[in-house]
Structure 1
Amino acid sequence: MPFVGLAQFFRRDIPALAAGPDGADLVQIFRCPFNHGPYLERRFHLRWRRAAETERAERFLAAPPEVPMLRWEHELPEPCVLHPEEVDTYPWAEDDTLPASLIARIDAWDDAQAAEHGPEAPSYQFDLSIPPGWRVGGFPSWASTGPIAIGCESCSTPMRLLLTAGSDEMDAGSHSWVPREERDPSLRGKASIQGGPSVAQPTRLRFGRDRDLHVFTCPADHSHPPQWVLS
């Protein structure tokens, strides 16, 4: 069964995108339309290409492969264009992702914010460190699993986060990351998002139970297989 294309990124549009093998500057992500095995696992595929060679290709499919009947709407991505924006991000603050003394200071700041502003108070994890949605590089979010050490299965080298595919571009815990033109500044959380699901989930995709899909690659050897981590 043909894989379904999820996204493609050009390095000319995203300078932070790591170079692929042999100078490849175009990365494409694919997903099998069906689940596999007793645990309903999803199978993904990462393909590196040279953009110049791809755009000069003499042979293209006359029509994309037909997508089979799918059970859920979110199995098929909604065609859309990504508009990359560069932002500063900071590591997830848990376990040994940061020095213990710094995590203690962050926790104390979070507690003070909650005491002053209540349940809708800003927090380091959701408002300051890592934005929701699709992102290239930066740091992984570990909201569901807690931090995990990702080592290459071929050579044990610590792997590098290539990109993250998010189920939502914005959610109830990410008020500060919602674009100004798509939020009500007088409200917080999900209530502040203007435009409904089409704005919060423009790609219509879901990964796991609304988790982030992290794609890790080996910095020592691009030929080593990537790892796909839901967190």
Structure 2
Amino acid sequence: MGTKPTDNGREIPWLDNMVRPVVRLHPAPGPAGPTDSHLGGPMLWPRHEPWPQCDGAGHRGSLDLTDEQVRGLPTPFAAGVQLYRHDFPELPFPDGTDVLQVFLCPLVHDGHWGPDVRLVWRAAGQVTDPLADQPVPVLVDPMYAFRPCVFNPCRANEYPMMCDVPRELLYELEFAKADGFDHANHETWPCLGDATKIGGWTRWFASDPYDMDCPDCGATRVQLLALAAHEDECAECDQPTGEHVGWEFIGGSGALNVLVCPKDVRHTMKLQIE
């Protein structure tokens, strides 16, 4: 996870300027309540506040249903992830908030070909009358099913993939000069592993970074959260790895990455499935 790339074994002087902190969440099945940080458990939600609902406008055919059968079908969002500031102070909480709630519409959507996402930043102390009987979606694509999990976090540093490094810096490296960048030995630049995590860098697999500029202010969006189907071995801790992370996602592999504006997390986010 935190393996530092080298230039054919030599240190890369400017690379430390690109390091990002990451929190690997290591979700595992367990009891989760509305006052806990968790995946797939009940949210701390005010009784009189409308529950997030997808209008179905972006639904694609799934579950053996056609586009016509699912488009425009309103459905409540599923409770996805809840993260409290006291557990994860690394999150960019807006002033006056201390809980991040991530809701998902567990059907395929246009654009990113995965579930839609809503982010809610709130102050836990303002929820004085919580909703106990919480809505659940009627239709759930099996690829996006998940079960209640608790977190066993560890913290580390993460280095970018080659595609996130400016080309002018890569061209200075000896392995790129020797072989030409397009044919360079990428074994000297380790790939990021699969992990459910806060922060860090995006594990680009099916594509290179694109559409990263915030449409509201022009800042380059950064990774807030990744929800992965599997966990690769973690060098920073001895948490279990493998199949049991609570998701069957993208046909059993891949991750849903949520990228946000570093200037204002309430600006337009980007969803990327890799």
Same fold? TM cut 0.5: yes
Q: In angstroms, what is the RMSD of aligned CA positions?
A: 3.1
The aligned amino acid for 1:46 is L
Cα displacement string for residues 183-208 of structure 1 (whole angstroms, at most 9, x for unaligned residues): xxxxxxxxxx6xxxxx5232124147
What does 1:1-20 align with in structure 2 at a 5 Å threshold? 1-20=75-94
- Provide the rounded CA distance (Å) in 2 between the counterparts of 1:225 and 1:12: 26
Matched residue, 1:124: 190
Q: Does 1:204 align with 2:270?
A: no
Which whole-Å CA distance do the structure 2 matches of 1:40 and 1:95 have between them? 23
Per-residue displacement from partner, 1:17-74 (whole Å, max 9, x unpaired)? Answer: 1123x33221111111333459855321111112333xxx2322231214425352x4
Distance 1:215 1:71, change over 3 A: closer
- Contact 1:91–1:97, Cα closer than 8 Å, also in 2: no
Distance 1:39 1:90, change over 3 A: closer
Cα 1:71–1:219 shift into 2, 3 Å: closer
For 1:91, the equivalent position in structure 2 comes to: 160
Q: Which runs of 5+ in 2 are unaligned?
A: 1-74, 177-183
- Give TM-score scaled by structure 1 length: 0.69
| Whole-angstrom distance in 2 between the partners of 1:208 and 1:154 | 33
- Residue 104 of structure 2 corresponds to residue 104 of structure 1: no
Match of 2:123 among 29, 50, 60: 50
> 2:59 is matched with which residue?
none
Closer, same or farther in 2 for the Cα pair 1:168/1:12, shift >3 Å? same
Structure with greater strand percent: 2
| Selected match of 2:134 from 51, 64, 77 | 64
User: The residue matched to 1:9 in structure 2 has which SS?
Assistant: strand
Kindly tell me: are residues 153 and 176 of structure 1, through their superposed partners in 2, closer, same or farther at Cα, counting changes over 3 Å?
A: same
Q: Aligned in 2, Cα 1:181/1:227: closer, same or farther, shift over 3 Å?
A: closer
* Aligned length, in residue pairs: 192
Secondary structure of the residue that 1:32 maps to in structure 2? strand
The residue identity in structure 2 corresponding to 1:151 is: D
Of 95-104 and 4-13, more deviation after overlay is shown by: 95-104
Per-residue CA distance 1:159-194 (angstroms, 9 max, x = gap): 122111112122xxxx45496464xxxxxxxxxx6x
Residue matched to 1:80: 149
The answer to whether the 8 A contact 1:14-1:84 is kept is: no
Unpaired stretches in structure 1, ≥5 consecutive residues: 112-122, 183-192, 194-198
| Cα pair distance change 1:103/1:135, threshold 3 Å | farther
Distance 1:108 1:140 in 2: 21
Secondary structure of the structure 1 residue equivalent to 2:163: coil
The answer as to whether partners of 1:97 and 1:147 remain within 8 angstroms in 2 is no
Confirm or deny: 8 A CA contact 2:256 2:272 kept in the other structure.
yes
Please give the secondary structure, in 1, of the residue aligned with 2:161. coil
8 Å contact kept, 2:107–2:139: no
User: 1:186-205 maps to which residues of 2 (within 5 A)?
Assistant: 199-205=242-248
Contact 2:197 2:227 in 1 (8 A): yes
The 1:103–1:162 alpha-carbon spacing in structure 2 relative to 1, beyond 3 Å, is farther
Q: Name the SS for the 2:157 alignment partner.
A: coil
Q: Provide the residue aligned with 2:207 in structure 1.
A: 145
TM-score (normalizing by structure 2): 0.59
Q: SS of the counterpart of 2:106? A: coil
Deviation at 1:80, TM superposition (A): 0.8
Give the secondary structure class of the aligned counterpart of 2:258.
strand
Mapped contact 1:169–1:202 kept (Cα < 8 A): yes
Q: Which residue of 2 aligns with 1:214?
A: 257
Percent identity over the alignment is 24
